[in-house]
Amino acid sequence: MPAISRSKLPHLMQREQERFSSAHPESRALFDRAQKSLLGGVPMNWMKKWPGGFPLFVDHASGAHFVDVDGHEYVDFCLGDTGAMTGHSPQPTINAAIERVKNGITFMLPTEDAIWVGEELTRRFGLPVWQFALTATDANRFSIRIAREITPRKKILVFNWCYHGTVDESFITLDSSGRGAARRGNIGPPVDPAVTTEVVEFNDIDGVERALTSGEIACVLAEPALTNVGIVHPEPGFHDALRKLTRRHGTLLIIDETHTICAGPGGFTKAEKLEPDFLVIGKPIAGGIPGAAYGFTQKVAERTSARIQTADCDTGGIGGTLAANALSLAAMRATLHSVLTQDAFEHMIPLAERFTQGAAAAIADAGVPWHVTRLGCRAEYLFCKDPPKNGGQAAAAADFELERYMHLHALNRGVLLTPFHNMALMSPATIEEDVDCHTRIFTEAIAELVS
């Protein structure tokens, strides 16, 4: 099996960097200007992670494509890391948003759209009671707070190398001795995350059982398949066992569907008949306009209501002035009604299959020890031969240099992947030519690495 030629990588990377730099003078000039007013020249610190030395500045986008300030057009498989899984600026969402913008954006009062969206989320995910937030991070935080309040227990459990947004309790990974420790790069943790959190490997049901036996765990916060360290699928029986154990130990189960909504209109939960106590969804739910939701069972609703005093309900740690604003709700309604529909998934999922087949053929032809996997309309290639069983294995297969080269090589040829791992997402506007374009470029990139 041919290995990747590591000695060639720096030269190839340099070639790509020069090509990128000379093709993007306008983006480079904006980045230079931004040094004065933005930390590191970017409005969000992780935008520094784009390969090429500076990020592309976007001029406009539509559907599955965008154009940068230098006039280059790209096929977008990053899609705002799922925030634009609907395709950029879907027409029904635009129409509803324009109407709402003209008639009041935020009130601290409800609109009828909130009820429509709550009813639709119940139809899709099965949970009967809903609340809204602006981000999936907040929806996770609020779910954790409620779980701690009503159980009442202090700790939560997460899986190794999970990502649930900037939730303090979740920035923990297993160290080499198998103990939970602050995740690398964790900025200013309020306390040692081992105080708040137990961490076990995904698919490790014995580990879950050991952790829950303490009786200290308020909730498990889990993606139903890991999607933030490559894709790690649950093994058969994992979710059944997780549900049985959490019930047996009085621990609540929060399923974070923010990314796994790629599995279908009702996410992984509907597709695999999961029965969480809470469900979190954010990112694409409002077509790219900020908005998120968290739903829970009737029992959780009753236990929560019993503990919230009206006099204090605005300062109890769950809220946000702009949460549940009328614009987000109007955008959610239009997106759920007309964009992220069953028909849309019937278009998107076969495209991800096509993407996976194309990448798998390139990997097999070159004989490199990589693999490609898929969850619904999300595909991902990983630099290991066999699919990882847990986050630790997936993280061990990460290769930052190689990843950057693959991403920059694609970017220089008109294809955008996320700056983290190797994820590609299909939108309702993505077409077969977009996918085939990636396959062609990916095949060329590997051929250069092994030749």
Binding site for ligand PMP (CB under 6 A): 81, 135-137, 140, 163-165, 223, 228, 256, 258-259, 282-283
Q: How far is the CB of 151 from ligand PMP (least distance, A)?
A: 22
Is 19 or 233 the residue whose CB approaches ligand PMP more closely?
Answer: 233
The helix or strand, by DSSP H or E, that contains position 312, with its residue range, turns out to be: none
DSSP strand E in 201-339: where?
A: 217-222, 252-256, 278-281, 292-296
Is 135 or 269 the residue whose CB approaches ligand PMP more closely?
Answer: 135
Residues 320 and 138 sit within 8 Å (Cβ to Cβ): yes
Q: How far is the CB of 35 from ligand PMP (least distance, A)?
A: 25
CA 220/CA 270 separation, integer angstroms: 19
Phi, psi of 255 (to 5 degrees): -100, 120
Q: Indicate the pairing of strand 278-281 with strand 292-296.
A: antiparallel
DSSP strand E in 44-95: where?
A: 58-62, 65-68, 73-76
Residues 288 and 254 sit within 8 Å (Cβ to Cβ): no
Residues 77 and 425 sit within 8 Å (Cβ to Cβ): yes
Joined tokens for residue 400: 């930052």
Q: How far is the CB of 165 from ligand PMP (least distance, A)?
A: 3
Is 358 or 376 the residue whose CB approaches ligand PMP more closely?
Answer: 376
As a residue count, the chain comes to: 451
Residue of minimal Cβ distance to ligand PMP: 165
Is 61 or 423 the residue whose CB approaches ligand PMP more closely?
Answer: 423
Let me know if 79 is exposed, middle or buried by CB neighbors in 10 A (0-12, 13-18, 19+). Answer: buried
Other CB atoms within 10 A of residue 252 CB = 28
Is 20 or 268 the residue whose CB approaches ligand PMP more closely?
Answer: 268
Joined tokens for residue 132: 């809204």
The helix or strand, by DSSP H or E, that contains position 223, with its residue range, turns out to be: none
CA 84/CA 106 separation, integer angstroms: 23
CA 374/CA 349 separation, integer angstroms: 9
Is 90 or 282 the residue whose CB approaches ligand PMP more closely?
Answer: 282
Q: Tell which residue, 186, 192, 256, 187, has the closest CA to residue 221.
A: 256
Is 159 or 238 the residue whose CB approaches ligand PMP more closely?
Answer: 159
- The residue assigned the tokens 């190794």 is 160
Is 139 or 150 the residue whose CB approaches ligand PMP more closely?
Answer: 139
Is 116 or 420 the residue whose CB approaches ligand PMP more closely?
Answer: 420
Q: How far is the CB of 290 from ligand PMP (least distance, A)?
A: 8
Q: How far is the CB of 54 from ligand PMP (least distance, A)?
A: 23
Q: How far is the CB of 365 from ligand PMP (least distance, A)?
A: 32
Is 8 or 145 the residue whose CB approaches ligand PMP more closely?
Answer: 145
Q: How far is the CB of 230 from ligand PMP (least distance, A)?
A: 13
302 Cβ contact list (under 8 Å, min separation 6) = none
Is 163 or 370 the residue whose CB approaches ligand PMP more closely?
Answer: 163
Residues 265 and 341 sit within 8 Å (Cβ to Cβ): yes
CA 410/CA 426 separation, integer angstroms: 16
Other CB atoms within 10 A of residue 149 CB = 17
Q: How far is the CB of 227 from ligand PMP (least distance, A)?
A: 6
Q: How far is the CB of 367 from ligand PMP (least distance, A)?
A: 33
Residues 53 and 17 sit within 8 Å (Cβ to Cβ): yes
Q: How far is the CB of 420 from ligand PMP (least distance, A)?
A: 8
Q: How far is the CB of 192 from ligand PMP (least distance, A)?
A: 22
